[in-house]
Amino acid sequence: GAVVSQHPSRVICKSGTSVKIECRSLDFQATTMFWYRQFPKKSLMLMATSNEGSKATYEQGVEKDKFLINHASLTLSTLTVTSAHPEDSSFYICSAVGSGDEQYFGPGTRLTVT
């Protein structure tokens, strides 16, 4: 089946630093990947749509200069949280779209900013 990985699974960083999260489709190519954010005991909120070879499309209210997305290949999208602050602490989940339109989700990355 379609497998999506995320790395790292957990990361702790200091306020003001940047952290990169990788999302990989392991056994299929994904021209489109989505990045979601989930607060504790809350739903998933779409942050941006990542398309291979083009600029990401950000949802309203998401700062594109703070959450940098790069979809450099058909199997890899990265989310970089720049100048992280404690309020950026959250669970970040990616999904990748296979040959149809079904989204396959990664296991998520827990970011803690101290």
Partner 1 sequence: AQTVTQSQPEMSVQEAETVTLSCTYDTSESNYYLFWYKQPPSRQMILVIRQEAYKQQNATENRFSVNFQKAAKSFSLKISDSQLGDTAMYFCAFMKNTGTASKLTFGTGTRLQVTL
Which residues of the shown chain bind partner 1 in the complex (CB under 8 A)?
31-32, 34, 38, 42-46, 49, 91, 93, 95, 97, 101-103, 105, 107-108
Tell me how crowded residue 34 is: count the other CB atoms within 10 A of its CB. 22
C-alpha 114/C-alpha 99 separation (Å) is 40
Closer CB to partner 1, residue 49 or residue 89?
49
Which residue shows structure tokens 């600029």?
55
Query: In whole angstroms, how close is the CB of 2 to partner 1 at the nearest point?
Result: 11
Closer CB to partner 1, residue 91 or residue 112?
91
Closer CB to partner 1, residue 50 or residue 78?
50
Measured at the alpha carbon of residue 51, what is the angle toward residues 30 and 103, in degrees to the nearest 5?
Answer: 45
| DSSP secondary structure string for all residues of 54-67 | S--EEPTT--TTTE
Query: In whole angstroms, how close is the CB of 78 to partner 1 at the nearest point?
Result: 18
